[in-house]
Amino acid sequence: MIQDIAPHRFDNTFIQGTSPAPDSPIYCFKEDKLLLAQEAVDGEGTSRRILLPRRRDFGPETDFIRLFSLDGLDHYLACPRRRLYEDDRILPETQIDQDIMTDGGKGTQDDFLHLDGYHYERLHRIRAEGRGEKHQYFAAVTAYQLARWYDHNRFCGHCGSRMEMGSRERVMICPNCGNPVYPKIMPAVIVAVTNGDRILMTKYRNRGIGYYALVAGFVEIGETFEDTVRREVMEETGLTVKNIRYYKSQPWGIADDLLAGFYCDLDGDDAIRMDEEELSEAAWFERGQIEGQPDHLSLTNEMMLTFRDGREPSGGEGRGF
């Protein structure tokens, strides 16, 4: 999975007050695009590396936030000094360049950073082309998650004052009303519903993803993970389940998710009543019919292949619900 990067070491310990060295790797984002070095490409016209800019490539108009370390090397986020506030109050939306929100291609130097010899490239394309090594992509996605959080919480949602970074932990705090905002992490479940040697697989509608996945959904207020499993399976396919058992978890930073994977058994009728607004397909597949997804980054893919190979946790392993 995306987080399985050993022997590389990812350390998200919060350390405040550090400054990047001249050769420190720097993340810089424009919407969902990462700033990368332009370089020679392979015979298929594709660059296979993830080359980040370094601190020495940026001018004095840029601020930096330490994000984490990778293999003992600190990585930072570049933050252009946008003039979006005045006297600690948010300016009217009409005074904010719309490109910041819509990525319309009209941003100014104050909106997004631009460096000679570098270009912005979508994270989705980097994944689709298999660019770089897995630990590099995991770090980039995690940096993207933090970059969005910092950008979306520059002002207090309660009183509108400018937020300040916490000094002891990763939190944005309002100096006026004390409102704390922690990194956005949304819990969700991935569910492998099995019936003997068959597994339920689905395709989402209107997401542009051509491969199969599993039932999935976000945890609602007042729910346990197990409640969410039952509800999501019922809502998406009309099936009831039993013997719910936990498998593994996964951070999925590109969508701010923390995913918890569960296997469960069909309880009763196997006739699928698909939610046609949510799904385009839902069907039972034999173990030998499972092909998996194009890469091995997702918890969903690992769970499907684990079932295909007959290695899924049985009802007697762990705790069943």
Q: How do residues 258-286 score in pLDDT, each as one tens digit?
A: 999 999 999 999 999 999 999 999 999 99
| Domain final position from 128, 152, 176 | 152
What's this model's pTM, rounded to 2 decimal places? 0.86
Q: Are residues 66 and 199 in the same domain?
A: no
Per residue, what are the HEC states of 202-255? EEECCCCCCCCECEEEECCCCCCHHHHHHHHHHHHHCCCEEEEEEEEEEEEHHH
Q: Are residues 195 and 146 in the same domain?
A: no
Give the other-Cβ count within 10 Å of 307's Cβ.
21
Q: What is the CATH number of the domain that holds 286?
A: 3.90.79.10
Q: Are residues 137 and 27 in the same domain?
A: yes
For residue 283, tell me if it sits in a domain. Answer: yes
Q: For residues 61 and 21, is the Cβ–Cβ distance under 8 A?
A: no
Distance CA 261, CA 166 (A): 33
For residue 25, tell me if it sits in a domain. Answer: yes
pLDDT band at residue 188 using 50, 70 and 90 as cut-offs: very high
Reference 190, options 294, 302, 74; nearest CA is 302
| Domain final position from 109, 136, 152 | 152
| Residue 306 in this model has a pLDDT that exceeds 80 | yes
Asked if the peptide bond before residue 60 counts as cis, ω within 30 degrees of 0, the response is no
| Domain final position from 152, 175, 206 | 152
Q: Are residues 223 and 139 in the same domain?
A: no
Q: How do residues 190-231 score in pLDDT, each as one tens digit?
A: 999 999 999 999 999 887 778 899 999 999 999 999 999 999
Q: Are residues 209 and 285 in the same domain?
A: yes
- Structural domain containing residue 34: 10-152
For residue 174, tell me if it sits in a domain. Answer: no
**One-letter amino acid of 38:** Q
Q: Are residues 48 and 147 in the same domain?
A: yes
Q: Are residues 124 and 209 in the same domain?
A: no
Q: How many domains would you assign to the chain?
A: 2
Q: Are residues 240 and 147 in the same domain?
A: no
